[in-house]
Structure 1
């Protein structure tokens, strides 16, 4: 279900990738499961306050970093992750998912706003070159759309966890 939810977020904003980071208050972490090329899933955890998603979890404020994210002073973790995965992060939109009571449930993370057009898929063999279709930024409309989207997720999420 969560994968379908985040597929909707990708479609809504024309993002290349999306992740729903769930809050684990007991361990003061965010966690998610990321699909692998072989069809398996790997669980990933980050401490609250670490990285862009962790900062959103800590402050409950959105973070919208335009192209080129590598020029942002807090991009070191993204650069390190990209070096390991051979994926090039160029833009990012992270937003809190709150319950109807205002409690933080999760953080949505959208990576790489895609330009519209007939572009192929990202080729990890090209890393670290930026493909033309990633030379875009999430805009105010994307952020407003995701705020509405996250409000709906915040209503549904407690019933599926």
Structure 2
């Protein structure tokens, strides 16, 4: 298949050696391919009989843009698995992604069960929880923030320049800090930019710097069964089902059609179920 037929819209990362976000592991790579590939290519890959047909197209793109020849963190993940050749790495990724496309649809129960059975550590906990939240309610971004009462802040971990970085927000500041302080949910529907919430201008300014478009948000407290507040779940841009073109930063600040919707009561109920699971896992992982 000619390379030009791929309409890839990968996550940009100005701190990456390739300018493209480089996944941490295979699971992260699958999530990135889900975001970057069109529905047409996904359908073709799902039914492909010979994945080697993609070796010099999509496979080549992964080898080049994910730094598989350059010893990137994804390449190092394969080295730890004793897979040393970048050609074999890309074939492995193609097979893993095809298997992902052919799995039965994930349900709330299977996603929560998968989180409970992951090898969670203080380093990967934030990313793994965010990935499950993102899938559960079909949104573009999701993050978990842990409350630190001693430092009066909430914190999460993000990947910057191929390294994990802790991001901290003072309790009372920003959407996450406000929910950590009040214990009350904040839901801002589409169009976020037209909301009267006091955080809108600050988030618009951040969007301008990174060429993103926040359209809707949902920020929910995470509590123990006793009611003790442990953290905050923050979700951005509920995504409509259907065949919409991926978001292109070049269209900023126009709101894309795929995000012209809002989080609803069902989403809140699902995240509440996730939060119950998360609250039970926090003690196991952090304390």
* TM-score normalised over the length of structure 2: 0.53
Q: Does 1:83 align with 2:208?
A: yes
Larger radius of gyration: 2
Shift in Å at residue 77 of structure 1?
2.1
- What is the alpha-carbon distance in structure 1 between the residues aligned to residue 220 and residue 231 of structure 2? 9
- What is the alpha-carbon distance in structure 2 between the residues aligned to residue 107 and residue 4 of structure 1? 15
- What is the alpha-carbon distance in structure 2 between the residues aligned to residue 15 and residue 97 of structure 1? 18
Match of 1:24 among 132, 148, 160: 148
Match of 1:4 among 128, 143, 151: 128
Aligned length: 160
Q: Which has the higher helix share?
A: 2
Q: Which has the higher strand share?
A: 1
Shift in Å at residue 119 of structure 1?
2.6
Shift in Å at residue 101 of structure 1?
2.7
Match of 1:147 among 260, 272, 283: 272
Q: Does 1:47 align with 2:170?
A: yes
Match of 2:237 among 105, 112, 135: 112
* TM-score normalised over the length of structure 1: 0.92
Q: Any gaps of 5 or more consecutive residues in structure 2?
A: 1-119
- What is the alpha-carbon distance in structure 1 between the residues aligned to residue 128 and residue 207 of structure 2? 24
Query: What SS does structure 2 have at the residue aligned with 1:129?
Result: coil
Q: Any gaps of 5 or more consecutive residues in structure 1?
A: none
Match of residue 98 from structure 1: 223
Conserved? CA contact 2:129–2:143, under 8 Å: no
Shift in Å at residue 49 of structure 1?
1.0
- What is the alpha-carbon distance in structure 1 between the residues aligned to residue 180 and residue 216 of structure 2? 19
**Bigger relative CO (Cα 8 Å, ≥ 6 apart):** 1
Once the two structures are overlaid, the 10-residue window that deviates more, 119-128 or 77-86, is 119-128
Q: Write the mapping of 1:118-137 to structure 2, written as runs, cut at 5 A.
A: 118-137=243-262
Shift in Å at residue 111 of structure 1?
0.2
After TM superposition, the runs of 4+ consecutive aligned structure 1 residues lying more than 6 A away are none
- What is the alpha-carbon distance in structure 2 between the residues aligned to residue 24 and residue 115 of structure 1? 35
Q: Note the aligned Cα RMSD (angstroms).
A: 1.4
